[in-house]
Structures are given as C-alpha cells and as structure tokens.
Chains A and B, each alone.
Chain A
C-alpha cells in the first residue's frame, strides 16, 4: 500500500486519496466541480460540507506552523501560463519568491537554487534575468512548473496544464511532468477534460458530473471495465486520432446546471440506461464498490454487468 498525500471526503461517502508518487485525475465537463475540488485542496475555497485531510488532519483547521508546512507541501500549476506569471517580475524572482518567503533564502544560495530549478524544467539558467513576455507559452509553463517545484512539494495540483499549448509543445510538458514525478516522487492531482491525456498521465481516475463523483477506479479499469453510463458516453465522445476507429455514439442533451441539478441521479435526463425508471428519477444513487477499488454511483450498474 502506498501512503496517501491528501484524502478528499465528501458527505455522501465519496472519498478519494491521492497516493504518494502517483497521479490522481479528476475528469468531467464544465460545472462538474473538478476545479472546485482543486481550489479546496489549495485552500482557495472552503468546502461547505465534507473535509480534506492531509496526514490525518483536516486542512481547513490547520493553523500556524502546520498551515505553513501544508502550503509548502502543496503547489499548483494553472492552465494559462500567460496570466499566472507576473509580467513585471524577472523569471528568477518569480521562481525565487517562494524560497525567500518560506525559507528566507537569499544571495548566492538563492541564485544557485533558482538556476537548478530552471535546469530541472529544461530551461537555461541564464534566462533567469528575462521577463515572462520573452518566453513562448510552453516555456512559460516550464517557469510555472519550476516555481511549483521550488519548495520541494509533495503534491502538485495540475489544473489543465497543457490545454493552452500547441500540440508539439504539449508532449514536451507532459513528458517533463512524468520525468519530474519519477525524479522527485511527486504526487499530482490532475484536473483535465482531455481523456487521452488523463489516460496517459494518471494512475487513478475520478469522473465527475454536475458536482458529484460518478465513478472512481484505477486507470486501467476505468478505461477497460467502464461502469457508469456517463463515463461510457465521455469515452465514446472523444474523436480519436485514428481514422480506422470511428467515434462512438454520444449522448444528447446538455450538461445540467449545478445550481438547479436534476432530481434523483443527476445524469438521468441524458442517460441512455434511464428508460423512464422511477428510481433514477427519484433516488440519488448510492456510492458502491462494484469491483475491488472500483466505485460508482448508478442504479443500473448491476444489470449492465449481467448483460455483458
């Protein structure tokens, strides 16, 4: 068993843990709540119910030194490398800031460490004197990663880390993230809507729909033994870069609003398995472990298993 870095537990029994040195991916469409969870983990928002635990303690009750230690341990890389870097700061100051604030580092030591971090992410240390606008999107994302690495964190929240980048640059950043994970034993909480990237990067996957997690499994299981009809629809909707594999049959309807979600199972208005059954319309499906470490919330899942 691996040790977990962070455990997220919602009120309805849904919980997941980001294991040490692995990647946990949260997938879903807009409004599914994946970014909200990330913000909660980063202490940018407070959950109204449920809790997030780090080393057995609720992160929103941490104070003083423990709070500072948590903030050092958990870092983030955001989607847009154009707005996440201060345009008026030199790169060496952007990367050096957390070191000055948290570790009181300065002078020659700081300079050496910043140079090291730039090398870790594949940038030339002499570029430390440049400003963000002198870099391309991919290089900026490298700077953001270097900043996240500065305090030797254990968990990095990756919020759509490559969606703003060109195809050829995406591969560079994804490979870099995988290398850094191995090198430093990092855990990642990956927020993404791109299932191909999720499959490539992650060890565990949680699929969310309108504020709730609908399926949770090991990566291989999620993609081969898919249980929830929503996950199946998501997988079928991806246009694969192979003309020999046509797209599957997708679902109709729009993503429901989290402000006024449908009754019962939130997915029922779009669900191909719904077929007017009252239970889906009226009852919130229970979160159950269908196979070892494979959880889902769907009234129809057992029958689906039998049919297969």
Chain B
C-alpha cells in the first residue's frame, strides 16, 4: 500500500464516467451497472467492493468491453483510458488495449486456462499477439513472467498442462498471462476466492510486490473487506449497480459515511478483536429488475428518512476525490 496523500498528485489513468450497462430481458431491463463513475490513478490500487449483484464484475467487464452478448449492452457513459474513450473504439482498436495495456485476472483459474494447451503456449499468446515477438526473445519474456510470479523451475513448467498445476500455481499462471505484456491496468476479479488461506496470502503478497515494482494500477473486485483493507489505496462501495461511497481506504474504514458501508464493516467478524454480536443488515439486496425508487438501500437502512424513498441522493464530496451518495451527508 502506498501513502494516500502522494496518490492524489499522480495522473489519472482511468476515468469512468456515468457508465451504464443494462441487460435486456423478456421480464424487463436489468440495470446491472447504473451510472458508475470512478477514477484510477497511476500505480494506485482501487477496490470495487459489494455483494453479489451489486454490479462490480459487470463494471469491470464493461471496462474491458467484454459484456456478455446478446443480452447485455453498454448503454451509456465514457471510459477514458488516458486520453482515449474506450467506448468509442472499434473492436479491432479495442484489441490494442485489451490483454495488452489492460488485463484481467478472473476468479476461477480452472476455467480461464485452456486445458489442452501448455502453460508456455498460453503465456506466449499475448506476447505474440500484442508485442509481436517471436522465438528466443518471446520465450525469454514468458520465462521472465513465470519467474516474476514465482513459479519454481519455469523452464520445465513451460511444457506442462494446467492439470499438472495446483490451484495456487494455476492462479499464478493466470497472473503471468495478464502481466506478461506489462499492462498499465490490471483488473483482478476475486482472484483468490478459490485459494486456501496461506496460498491466498502468498498470492496477495506477490501481486503487491509486482504492483510496486512496475507501478501498475490495479482494480480489485472483491466482497472481502479484508483484502480491500490490505491491498487497496482507495475503495468504491457498490450497491445495486451504483457506487454509493468512494474514498481512501484508511479514511473510510475509520469513518464510513454511508450507512451501507458502515453496516458492511460492522457485519464482519474481526479476528483478534471479536465483537459479542455482529451487526445485521436485515432484508435482501434488491432485485435489479425492480430497484426501489429513491435510494436503493432505503428499505434496509437504519437511518432512513422520507426523502430517501423519493429521490436518489446527489453526490456529496467528502474531501479530495472522495464522495458519498446519501441524504444524511447532504443535510
């Protein structure tokens, strides 16, 4: 983790403005991402945290322009990668970014590797495709990437297939595939959920070291508030397809402004500091096909007011790049 105060002067790498991705279904329109705005600065690690259905994965797939089709469509907004709006690119132009300047590590290393190709071939693919390197030079780059993710004896491992790797090692291969082109932005979508505790700790340490070394910007998608606390400089809390609070991790964990953020933080058991009873958010996350009017959290909010049921709260700045959408903060 880098010092929060120095982050703000760094140039913005990614600027997402009012992104909207909707699913068009027979039963109606499902607003998976409904007006998401956030920025990622150079070398910064940003968390997207939320529960299932909050839109965090769909936001990332939208940034990569990989939303499932048919069904989903990016219906609005801008995604600025330096001075280029990715949503205006043709599919061919987009390929220059995807897998090259921005890469994504998916949740399940089982399904993101091709079982019939060797590890070497799979890590080689982006090298050939994007860096246009061949032969010894390309091979050296692949080995370098495998070494960087600390796979032992990479020269031998190159020729092996995914089934010959353990879960933790497979996830390192996936990370090597993402990092081999030295991308400016890495999107990590719950990459450690299937890993054991000690293996997860190794993987988190690895990504943090690589991030520091190459000054890569990282978006961490997770429901684990522990990973956000340990890995991120900033956090964006998502609920029902929107970011309800955004800010520096240290600040938000100490003084959450949004009742949902506060409830989330109070609902997890903290090791070494046990609470007699967990705070309980009653009810269910909303059905995205019928989001309540006003603030979508109001039916579960302990401090709900009349206005919450009528109007979505505006963005209230809370210092620096930080903001919250809540009528309590507006008062």
Identify the A interface with B (CB < 8 A).
29-30, 136, 138-139, 166-172, 174-175, 178, 193, 195-197, 199-200, 223, 233-247, 250-252, 254-255
Contacts and interface: CB of A to CB of B under 8 A. Distances in A.
Nearest to A224: B272
Contact of B278 (A174, A195, A244, A251): A174
B249 interface: yes
A76 to B, nearest CB: 22
A171 B271 contact: no
Interface string B235-270: 000000000000001100100000000011101111
B284 A238 contact: no
Nearest to A193: B197
11 contacts: A30-B196, A166-B51, A166-B52, A169-B51, A171-B268, A193-B197, A196-B269, A200-B278, A239-B229, A250-B202, A254-B168
Given A167-B267, A240-B226, 8 more contacts: A29-B197, A171-B267, A193-B196, A196-B226, A196-B268, A200-B269, A245-B272, A246-B230
B271 A199 contact: yes
B285 interface: yes
A255 B268 contact: no
Contact of B264 (A167, A233, A254): A167
B191 to A, nearest CB: 13
A233 B200 CA distance: 12
Contacts of B201: 236-239, 247, 250
- A195, A243, A244: most-surrounded residue (chain B CB, <10 A): A243
Contacts of A240: 226, 229-230, 270-272
Contact of A171 (B199, B225, B278): B278
B204 A254 contact: no
B137 to A, nearest CB: 31
A250 B284 contact: no
B227 A239 contact: yes
A195 B270 CA distance: 9
B280 interface: yes
B279 A234 contact: no
Interface string B271-283: 1111101111110
B285 to A, nearest CB: 7
A175 B278 CA distance: 7
B1 interface: yes
B198 A237 contact: yes
Contacts of A196: 226, 268-271
B204 A247 contact: yes
B89 to A, nearest CB: 35
A254 to B, nearest CB: 6
Indicate the size class of the contact surface on chain B. Answer: 35 or more
B205 interface: yes
Contacts of A234: 197-198
Nearest to A135: B284
Contacts of A30: 196
A197 B249 contact: no
Interface in B155-181: 166, 168-169
Which 7 interchain pairs have the tightest Cβ spacing? Answer: A239-B226, A237-B201, A200-B269, A250-B201, A171-B267, A29-B196, A241-B225
Given A239-B224, A239-B229, A244-B250, A168 B196 contact: no
Interface in B275-298: 275, 277-282, 284-285
Interface string B143-159: 00000000000000000
Nearest to B263: A168
Given A166-B52, A233-B198, A138 B204 contact: no
Nearest to A242: B229
Contacts of B169: 254
Given A237-B201, A242-B270, A136 B229 contact: no
Contacts of B282: 172
B271 A237 contact: no
A251 B198 contact: yes
B230 A168 contact: no
Given A244-B250, A254-B166, A223 B198 contact: no
B35 to A, nearest CB: 22
Nearest to A244: B250
A200 B226 contact: no
Contacts of A172: 280-282
B264 A243 contact: no
B223 interface: yes
Interface string B196-230: 11111110110000000000000000011111111
B253 A241 contact: yes
Nearest to A195: B271
Contact of B198 (A171, A175, A255): A255
A118 to B, nearest CB: 17
A247 to B, nearest CB: 5
A246 B272 CA distance: 13
Contacts of A195: 197, 271
A167 B51 contact: yes
A243 B169 CA distance: 27
Contacts of B230: 239-240, 243, 246-247
A172 B282 CA distance: 7
